[in-house]
Amino acid sequence: MSLLTVRDLRVEFKTPDGVVKAVAGVSYDLNPGETLALVGESGSGKSVSNLAYMGLLPASRTTITGSVILETTSGPVELIGMSNEELRKIRGKDIAMIFQDPMSALHPYYTIGDQLIEAHQVHNEVDKKVSRERAIELLSLVGVANPEERLAAYPHQFSGGMRQRVMIAMALMNNPKVLIADEPTTALDVTVQAQILKLLSDLQKQFNMAVILITHDLGVVAGAADRVNVMYGGRLVESTDVNELYENPLMPYTVGLLDSIPRMDKGHGKRLRAIPGQPPSLIKLGDGCAFAARCGRKSELPEGKCDTSPELKEVTAGHLVRCHLYDSKGAAK
Amino acid sequence: MNGLATYISRRLGLTLVILLAVSFAVYVIFSLLPYDPAALTCGKNCNDPGIIEANRIRLGYDKPFWEQYWLFLSGLFVGRSFGTGAAAIFCPAPSFGYSFQQHACVTSLLGDALPVTVYLAVGALILWLIVGVGLGIVSAKFRGKLWDTLSTGFVLVGTSLPTFLTGLMLIIFLVIKWDGSPFPSDGYTAPDEDFGQFLLSMVLPWITLAFAFAAIYTRFVRSQILEISTEDYIRTAKAKGLSDGKILGKHTLRAALAPIVTMAGLDFAGLLGGAILTEAVFNLPGMGRLSLKAVVDIDLPVIVATTILAAAIVVVMNMILDIAYAFIDPRVRV
C-alpha cells in the first residue's frame, strides 16, 4: 500500500514573462519506510513538486493540478485542493520537512526550546511540560549533548551541523509518516554531511518513516536512497532502484550526471565530463524532448524524433525511463 | 549577563565622550558667528558702548574662548552667576547660560518648553505607531487587494501633504468653521492646569504630526512584513503547521520589531528637539517655537542650548536603542 500517491502533479507559476511550467505531470508512489530520492539540477522541479502539495508556495501566483493522496490513520486524503486550514493540520504532523540551510531555517530570535515545543503544541493539546519532555527526548535522539540546558540556547549558539540536527528533531516532534528532506546536507561540511545522513537513516528505521530526499548530489543518493527519481525540466525522466541506477543508467541525462561526479572505482586521472548546455527555460518548453538540445545521442534517432515528447516507459522490471532511445523495450544499448 | 553589563557601561562611556564633543562643536560654531554677543544683549537700536562693555564683562564674553567654554561646561554642573554684587543673576545647575533678550535663565526657558514638546511627541508617537503598524500589517496581509490599495492611497496622501497644510486644514475645518467646536483656538493649556482642556488642545497637533509619520510607518511596516515573509524561518513555521495568525503575530512581527523600534526611537528623538512646524501652526510653546524665536532674535545662549539639547537627545536615544537591541536581538548579547 502506497503511503503517498502522486498522480500527474502539475505546478505552474504566473510570471510577467509568461507561465512557468515548473512541474509538468509527475507521478510516483512512496511506500512506507522507504527512501525515495528526487534528483535533478536547479529548476528541475524537484523541490517545487513537494512544496506544492504541502501548500508552501505562494497561492496567488501558483496553479496546482493533479492528485496527491496521503494515507492517514483515518483513511486516504487528497491533498490537492484541500483548504489551507485542513492542510495546516497535516503539515508538521503527518508530513514534516527539513530544509537546505539550517542557518536561516530557524528563527533567530527564539530559543530552540521554544521552537521545538511550539512544533509539538500546535498539533497536540497537551500541557507544555509534556511538549518540553518530548523536545528533550528528541534533542538527545538527534545527538545534542545536554539537551535540557540546550533548550534555552538560541540558534546562533549552534554550529551548522547541530542546527540541522535541531531541525530534524523539530520535524520528528509529531512522529511524521513522511519526512521531506529538501537538500538537507547541501549547506554542510562533507564530514558533517555523512553524520547527518547516517542520523537520518537511523531515525528513519526507528520512526518507521518514509523519506523523500531531494538532492542534486548523486553521491548522497548512493548511500541513502532505496529508489531514485531523476527529474529534468519538470518531469520524471528516469525512475529505478538505486543499484540499478548506478549500474545501468539509461537516460543520457542520468548518464551525464553520473559521469560528472568523481568516483573511486572508475579509474584515476580521467577528466570529469560535464553535461554541455544549460537547463531548459520552463516558459518556452515545447512539445519535444526537453533534454534534446543537450543530448549527445540525438544523432542515433531519426530526424524530427526529438520534436515529439517521449513517454515514461518501463524498460525492465521496475526501471522506467522517458527517452526515445528506448521506444522499443531494451532496443538501444 | 556579565557581558551585557560590560556592553552597557562601555556604551555609556562612549556616549559621554560624544556628548562632550557635540557641546564643544556647537560652542565653537556659535563663537565663530559674526555677531558680538555683548552687543546683542542690549537690543537692536542700542549703541551705548558703556552698557555693551558692562554686559560683556557680566556675561564673561571678555574672557578667552577656552575660559568661556569652561565656564559654560562647569555651569552645567554647578550653576553660574552672571555679574557681581547685588545685580548678580544666579542660574542654578544645570545652567545653560542667561538670555538677556528674554531676561531669564536659559534652563528655565527649556524647562517650560521641553514638557510641551514631550507631550506632543509622545502622543503623536503612540498615534502613529498604532495607525502605521496596524495599517502596515493589514496592507501586507491583503497585498494587492482593496485594503492594500486604500492604505497605499493613505500613504501617498500622508507623505505628500506638508505638515503645515494638514494642520491649517484641521484648524479651518475643525476649529473655525465648526460652530461649537470642542477644540480650543487659543493654543496650549498645561495638563496640571486643566487636564481635559490640555487633551483637547493637543488632539489636533497630535493628529497633524502623527499623520505624516503614520504614512511612512505604514509603508515601512508593510515592506518589512513582506520581506520577512520570504525568510526561510517563516517557511519553517508554515511547514510546522502553525496558523497564519500565529506566524504573523509571533514569528513575522517579532523579526520586524528591531527595525521598527530603531526607526521609531530615532524619529521620536528628532521630534524632542522641537516639532517646529506643528508647534508654530498650533501656537504650542515647545522646543520648536523656542528655537525658532531664538534664531529670529539671534538669542545666542538659547540657540546654543537648544542645539546641544537636541543633539544630546539624539545621542542618548542612540545609546538607548543600542542597549535595547541587546534585549531584542539575542545575537547581539553573546
Measured CA to CA, the distance from residue B14 to residue B131 in angstroms comes to 35
Tens digit of each residue's pLDDT (9 = 90 or more) over A255-282 = 888 888 777 776 666 777 788 888 888 8
Q: What is the pLDDT of residue B124?
A: 96
CA angle A259, A297, A40 (to 5 degrees): 45
A107/B235 Cβ within 8 A: no
Tens digit of each residue's pLDDT (9 = 90 or more) over B91-105 = 888 888 888 888 899
Q: Is B327 on the interface with A (CB under 8 A)?
A: no
Q: Does residue A181 contact residue A193 with C-beta atoms inside 8 Å?
A: no
The residues, any chain, with a CB within 8 Å of residue B291's CB and separated by 6 or more, are B273, B274, B276, B302, B303, B306, B307, B310
Q: Does residue A216 carry a pLDDT above 50?
A: yes
- Among B322, B334, B327, smallest CA distance to B12 is for B322
In eight-state DSSP terms, residue B45 is T
- Among B156, B112, B110, B131, smallest CA distance to B209 is for B131
Q: Does residue B134 carry a pLDDT above 90?
A: yes
Tens digit of each residue's pLDDT (9 = 90 or more) over B167-193 = 888 888 888 888 877 888 777 888 888
- In sequence order, the β-bridge partners of residue A19 are A14
Closest Cα in chain A, distance from residue B8 (Å):
20
- CA torsion sign for B300, B301, B306, B312 is positive
Q: Does residue B1 carry a pLDDT above 60?
A: no
Instruction: Output the average pLDDT for chain A.
Output: 88
What is the band of B119 on the pLDDT scale with cuts at 50, 70, 90?
A: very high
What is the band of A180 on the pLDDT scale with cuts at 50, 70, 90?
A: very high
What is the band of A329 on the pLDDT scale with cuts at 50, 70, 90?
A: low
Torsion region of A118: left, alpha or beta (phi above 0 gives left; psi -120 to 50 gives alpha)? alpha
Residues of chain B with Cβ-Cβ distance to A212 below 8 Å are none
- Compare all CA atoms of chain B with the CA of A179 and give the residue at the minimum distance: B239
3-state secondary structure chain A: CCCEEEEEEEEEEEECCEEEEEEEEEEEEECCCCEEEEECCCCCCHHHHHHHHCCCCCHHHEEEEEEEEEEECCEEEECCCCCHHHHHHHECCCEEEECCCHHHHCCCCCCHHHHHHHHHHCCCCCCHHHHHHHHHHHHHHCCCCCHHHHCCCCHHHCCHHHHHHHHHHHHCCCCCCEEEEECCCCCCCHHHHHHHHHHHHHHHHHHCCEEEEEECCHHHHHHHCCEEEEEECCEEEEEEEHHHHHHCCCCHHHHHHHHCCCCCCCCCCCCCCCCCCCCCCCCCCCCCCCCHHHCCCHHHCCCCHHHCCCCEEEEECCEEEECHHHCCCCCCC
Q: Does residue A138 carry a pLDDT above 90?
A: yes
Rounded mean pLDDT of A53-62?
A: 87
Tens digit of each residue's pLDDT (9 = 90 or more) over A4-34 = 999 999 999 988 888 889 998 899 999 999 9
Q: Using CA atoms of A34, A40, A43, A49 in order, give the dihedral in degrees to the nearest 10.
A: -20
Q: What is the pLDDT of residue B3?
A: 73
Q: Does residue A20 contact residue A230 with C-beta atoms inside 8 Å?
A: no
- Compare all CA atoms of chain A with the CA of B329 and give the residue at the minimum distance: A109
Closest Cα in chain A, distance from residue B125 (Å):
26
- Compare all CA atoms of chain B with the CA of A106 and give the residue at the minimum distance: B233
In eight-state DSSP terms, residue B190 is -
Query: How many Cβ pairs within 8 Å bridge chains A and B?
Result: 72
Closest Cα in chain B, distance from residue A284 (Å):
27
Kindly state the helix (H) or strand (E) to which residue B111 belongs, with its residue range.
helix B106-141
B246/A107 Cβ within 8 A: no
The residues, any chain, with a CB within 8 Å of residue A286's CB and separated by 6 or more, are A307
Rounded mean pLDDT of A212-232?
A: 90
Q: Identify the residue among B228, B234, B240 best suited for mutation to test binding to A, counting A beta carbons within 10 A and taking the highest.
A: B240
A167/B232 Cβ within 8 A: no
Measured in whole angstroms, the distance separating CA B146 from the mean position of its chain's CA atoms is 35
Q: What is the pLDDT of residue B44?
A: 66
Q: Is A188 on the interface with B (CB under 8 A)?
A: no
| B87 phi, psi to nearest 5 deg | -85, 0
Residues of chain A with Cβ-Cβ distance to B237 below 8 Å are 107
Q: Is B3 on the interface with A (CB under 8 A)?
A: no
Q: Identify the residue among B236, B251, B328 best suited for mutation to test binding to A, counting A beta carbons within 10 A and taking the highest.
A: B236
CA–CA distances in Å: residue B308 to residues A180, A300, B21, B35, B265: 60, 84, 10, 19, 18
Kindly state the helix (H) or strand (E) to which residue B123 belongs, with its residue range.
helix B106-141
Tell me which residue in A60, A119, A156 faces B240 most closely, judged by beta carbons: A119
Residues of chain A with Cβ-Cβ distance to B236 below 8 Å are 99, 105-107, 167, 170
Reported pTM: 0.84
Residues of chain B with Cβ-Cβ distance to A108 below 8 Å are 233, 255, 329-331
Q: What is the pLDDT of residue A266?
A: 65
Parallel, antiparallel, or unpaired: how do β-strands A178-182 and A210-215 relate? parallel
Measured CA to CA, the distance from residue B206 to residue B184 in angstroms comes to 14
Q: Which of residues 65 through 84 in chain A touch B, CB cutoff 8 A? A: 84
Parallel, antiparallel, or unpaired: how do β-strands A18-30 and A35-39 relate? unpaired
Task: Please identify which residue in the block is written with the cell numbers 558702548.
Answer: B49
Tens digit of each residue's pLDDT (9 = 90 or more) over B183-220 = 887 778 888 888 988 998 899 999 999 998 999 999 99
Q: Identify the residue among A107, A122, A158 best suited for mutation to test binding to B, counting B beta carbons within 10 A and taking the highest.
A: A107
B238/A107 Cβ within 8 A: no
Residues of chain A with Cβ-Cβ distance to B233 below 8 Å are 104-108
Domains of chain B, CATH where assigned? 2-105 (no CATH), 107-333 (1.10.3720.10)
Q: Is A97 on the interface with B (CB under 8 A)?
A: yes
Instruction: Output the average pLDDT for chain B.
Output: 88
What is the band of A332 on the pLDDT scale with cuts at 50, 70, 90?
A: very low
Tens digit of each residue's pLDDT (9 = 90 or more) over B48-83 = 788 888 888 888 888 888 888 888 888 888 888 887
Q: Does residue A35 contact residue A204 with C-beta atoms inside 8 Å?
A: yes
Beta-sheet strand order (sheet of A4-15): A18-30, A4-15, A62-72, A75-78
Q: Does residue A248 contact residue A41 with C-beta atoms inside 8 Å?
A: no
% of chain A at pLDDT higher than 70 = 97
| B311 phi, psi to nearest 5 deg | -65, -40
Q: Is A288 exposed, middle or buried (0-12, 13-18, 19+ CB in 10 A)?
A: middle
Q: Does residue A140 carry a pLDDT above 70?
A: yes
Q: What is the pLDDT of residue A123?
A: 95
Task: State the ipTM, two decimals.
Answer: 0.89
A123/B242 Cβ within 8 A: no
Parallel, antiparallel, or unpaired: how do β-strands A319-322 and B80-82 relate? unpaired
B241/A93 Cβ within 8 A: yes
Q: Kindly report the number of other CB atoms within 10 A of residue A278's CB atom.
A: 10
Q: Which of these ranges, A195-209, B78-92, B151-165, has the smallest mean pLDDT?
A: B78-92
Parallel, antiparallel, or unpaired: how do β-strands B98-99 and B104-105 relate? antiparallel
What is the band of B84 on the pLDDT scale with cuts at 50, 70, 90?
A: confident
Residues of chain A with Cβ-Cβ distance to B230 below 8 Å are none
Kindly state the helix (H) or strand (E) to which residue B2 belongs, with its residue range.
helix B2-32
Measured CA to CA, the distance from residue B15 to residue B287 in angstroms comes to 23
Q: What is the pLDDT of residue A331?
A: 46
Q: Does residue A318 carry a pLDDT above 90?
A: no
Measured CA to CA, the distance from residue B8 to residue B315 in angstroms comes to 14
Rounded mean pLDDT of B307-319?
A: 91
Q: What is the pLDDT of residue A219?
A: 82
Q: Is B254 on the interface with A (CB under 8 A)?
A: yes
Q: Is A121 on the interface with B (CB under 8 A)?
A: no
Tell me which residue in B231, B232, B239 faces A91 most closely, judged by beta carbons: B239
| B184 phi, psi to nearest 5 deg | -70, 150
Parallel, antiparallel, or unpaired: how do β-strands A75-78 and A62-72 relate? antiparallel
What is the band of B333 on the pLDDT scale with cuts at 50, 70, 90?
A: low
The residues, any chain, with a CB within 8 Å of residue B191's CB and separated by 6 or more, are B119, B198
